Amino acid sequence: MSTVRSLPILTLCELADPGLPHVESYSPFCLKIHRALKLAQLPYERRLADRPDAHKRLNPLGQVPVLLVADEAVFDSTAILHRIEQLAPGRLQPELTARQRADAWLWEEFADTTLNGFLVAARWADDRNWPLTREAYFSGMPIPVKALIPRLIRRRVVGGLHARDVWRAGGEVCWQRFLTVLDDLEAHIAGQRYWLGDVRTVADLAVFGQLHSLRTPLTPWQGAELAKRRELTAWLDRIDAETVG
Ligand SMILES: N[C@@H](CCC(=O)N[C@@H](CS)C(=O)NCC(=O)O)C(=O)O
């Protein structure tokens, strides 16, 4: 493992801290980056905002996370992971074979797309959870806008889920697919220490970011289904313990 020299100041631009133990952010992408920075032993500051596009000056896409490396803004959590690898070589994942490396990044992509679709659907589209999400995300809003804005944002987010084919066939089909994916992930991780076997990789961080985010009080049914998968839960607990800092 190489040493980290002359580090630039790192600032993670993100959303408010939910105030829950072991959940630095409701954003699964920010959570992934918190854990990556801790694993890489890179000290960082936090810059919190009420809404993702508050950091738009740094990220024209209007999303979080953004990592400021001195005054260079790096955005998109996958690009940030690559940057962390450059800043602290070997700390996120050891030297891998070409196939292991490809597999790690492919799983990272699967987490950011497929698993994220279920998480967004669970919080924003699932009627059982929407009141909890609305309260958690919008409670600070002044009353007159609170009646309207969350509904409009919800409509936009659920529209995005249709476009991604996550919610197009409705909740029943979405949650049936979710259970099948959970069963497949459970079978995948059975008997393995890390997502790709013996070595910890970016796949662990990315899959953790999305699945651990389903274990907050915002999504009780999805969290309970996850808890039934014992191997997956044991792996999540292990990654949490190893990266919580
Ligand atoms: N591909 C981006 C996705 C980031 C993302 O979707 N962040 C959410 C918060 S969890 C966000 O900023 N949403 C606001 C929006 O998309 O307008 C990444 O990996 O960083």
Stretch (H or E) spanning 176: helix 171-189
Where among 87, 118, 140 does a domain terminate? Answer: 87
- Determine the pLDDT at residue 245: 92
- Do residues 52 and 15 make contact, with C-beta atoms less than 8 angstroms apart? yes
**Which structural domain, as residue segments, surrounds residue 147?**
98-243
Ligand 1: centre distance to CA 173 (Å): 24
Confidence band, pLDDT 50/70/90 cuts, at residue 100: very high
* Distance (Å) from CA 131 to ligand 1 centroid: 21
The finding on whether 64 has its CB within 6 A of some atom of ligand 1 is yes
Cα–Cα dist 30/94, whole Å: 22
Helix (H, G, I), strand (E, B) or coil at 218: coil
pLDDT higher than threshold 90 for residue 15: yes
**CA angle at 97 for the pair 28 and 36, rounded to the nearest 5°:** 25
Same domain, 110 and 60: no
Q: Stretch 127-156: mean pLDDT, rounded?
A: 94
Residue 22: CATH number of its domain: 3.40.30.10
The residue to mutate among 56, 64, 75, 158, having the most atoms of ligand 1 within 8 angstroms of its beta carbon, is 64
pLDDT score for 165: 97
CB distance 29 to ligand 1 below 6 Å:
yes
Q: How far is the CA of 100 from the centre of ligand 1 (A)?
A: 27
Per residue in 59-72, pLDDT (tens digit) is 999 999 999 999 99
- Please indicate, yes or no, if residue 147 is contained in any of the structural domains: yes
- Strand 66-69 with 45-49, pairing: unpaired
- Residue 2 counted as domain residue: no
114 lines ligand 1 (CB under 6 A): no
Shared domain for 158 and 232, answered yes or no, is yes
Number of domains in the chain: 2
Are 173 and 239 part of one and the same domain?
yes
Ligand 1 centre to CA of 190 (Å) is: 30
Residue 48 has pLDDT above 80, yes or no: yes
49 C-beta closer than 6 A to ligand 1 = no
Q: What percent of the chain has pLDDT over 90?
A: 93
Please tell me whether residues 103 and 187 are part of one structural domain.
Answer: yes
From ligand 1's centre to the CA of 192, what distance in Å?
30
Of the three residues 87, 120, 149, the one that is the final residue of a domain is: 87
Q: Quick check: CB of 222 below 6 Å from ligand 1? A: no
Mean pLDDT score, 128-144: 94
Query: Average model confidence (pLDDT) for the chain?
Result: 96
* One domain, residues 105 and 221: yes
